[in-house]
């Protein structure tokens, strides 16, 4: 009787273990190494990636607005003043939308720009005339290139669907800003 009870108990344990183990990948001589599965999981989108995107987008947006205001006042060429005004208008709207997302997701965005952006603004504030125009447009091209890469990454691999949609929605205008900044910069170089 004990043998039947022990055999039945052992069989029940094996069946239970087998059922609980269905989602665990089996490793055989032909299957990939277990590390490969864990590596693909670590590259999955995470809320931390979303938070980092939102933080960088907020600081970049603040810089675009402040630098645009400065260009509207201080630029030598009218096309650069116009570009600066466009940056203020477009990035103010994007910043407002990002703040709404952050509020609804209980995330606090930075209230000030990062050190690199503050350093760029200090440099622009001290520049005058054609030197200001050249530096501003160079910074805009570099900054928008980074923005486009940041937004492309978020649109492709973010974990928060609203934030992915936000990035996708604003990519076309960021690409347009980049195109404009490069075009104005190249015109300035050829005008010399």
pLDDT at position 174 is: 97
Structure tokens given for 18: 């087998």
pLDDT at position 15 is: 40
pLDDT at position 21 is: 42
For the stretch 65-74, pLDDT in tens is 999 999 999 9
**Residue 23: inside a domain:** no
For 24-28, 49-53, 140-144, which range has the lowest pLDDT when averaged over its residues? 24-28
Listing DSSP states for 114-136 in one string gives -HHHHHHHHHHHH--HHHHHHHH
Return the percent helix, strand and coil in the chain, to nearest 5: 80, 0, 20
For the stretch 10-46, pLDDT in tens is 444 444 444 444 333 333 333 343 333 333 333 445 6
**Residue 96: inside a domain:** yes
pLDDT at position 192 is: 57
**Dist. CA 13–CA 92, nearest whole Å:** 63
**Residue 155: inside a domain:** yes
pLDDT at position 46 is: 65
Average pLDDT over residues 160-179: 96
Task: Choose between 6 and 78: higher pLDDT.
Answer: 78
**Dist. CA 91–CA 151, nearest whole Å:** 14
**Dist. CA 132–CA 17, nearest whole Å:** 71
**Residue 39: inside a domain:** no
* Residue of 174, 169, 172, 160 lying closest to 101 (CA atoms): 160
**Residue 37: inside a domain:** no
CATH number at residue 114: 1.20.1260.10
For the stretch 86-141, pLDDT in tens is 999 999 999 999 999 999 989 999 999 999 999 999 999 999 999 999 999 999 99
**Residue 80: inside a domain:** yes
**Dist. CA 56–CA 113, nearest whole Å:** 9
* Average pLDDT across the chain, whole number: 82
**Residue 24: inside a domain:** no
Burial of residue 75 (CB within 10 Å: 0-12, 13-18, 19+) is buried
Number of domains in the chain: 1
Q: Which residues contact 47 (CB under 8 A, 6 or more apart)?
A: 159, 160
Q: What is the pTM of this model?
A: 0.74
pLDDT at position 47 is: 86
**Residue 4: inside a domain:** no
Look at the chain and count its residues.
192
159, containing H or E segment: none
Structural domain boundaries enclosing 154: 46-191
């Amino acid at each position: 009787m004990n043998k039947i009870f022990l055999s039945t108990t052992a069989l029940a344990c094996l069946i239970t273990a087998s059922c609980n183990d269905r989602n665990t990948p089996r490793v055989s001589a032909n299957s990939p190494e277990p590390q490969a599965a864990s590596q693909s999981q670590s590259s999955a989108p995470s809320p931390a990636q979303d938070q980092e995107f939102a933080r960088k987008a907020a600081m970049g947006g603040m810089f675009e607005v402040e630098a645009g205001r400065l260009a509207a006042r201080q630029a030598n060429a009218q096309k650069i003043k116009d570009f600066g005004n466009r940056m203020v208008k477009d990035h103010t709207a994007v910043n407002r939308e990002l703040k709404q997302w952050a509020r609804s997701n209980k995330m606090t965005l930075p209230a000030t720009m990062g050190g690199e952006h503050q350093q760029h603004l200090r440099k622009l504030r001290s520049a005058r005339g054609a030197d200001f125009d050249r530096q501003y447009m160079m910074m805009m091209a570099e900054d928008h290139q980074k923005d486009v890469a940041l937004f492309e990454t978020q649109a492709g691999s973010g974990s928060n669907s609203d934030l992915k949609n936000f990035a996708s929605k604003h990519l076309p205008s960021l690409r347009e800003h980049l195109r404009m900044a490069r075009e104005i910069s190249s015109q300035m170089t050829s005008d010399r």
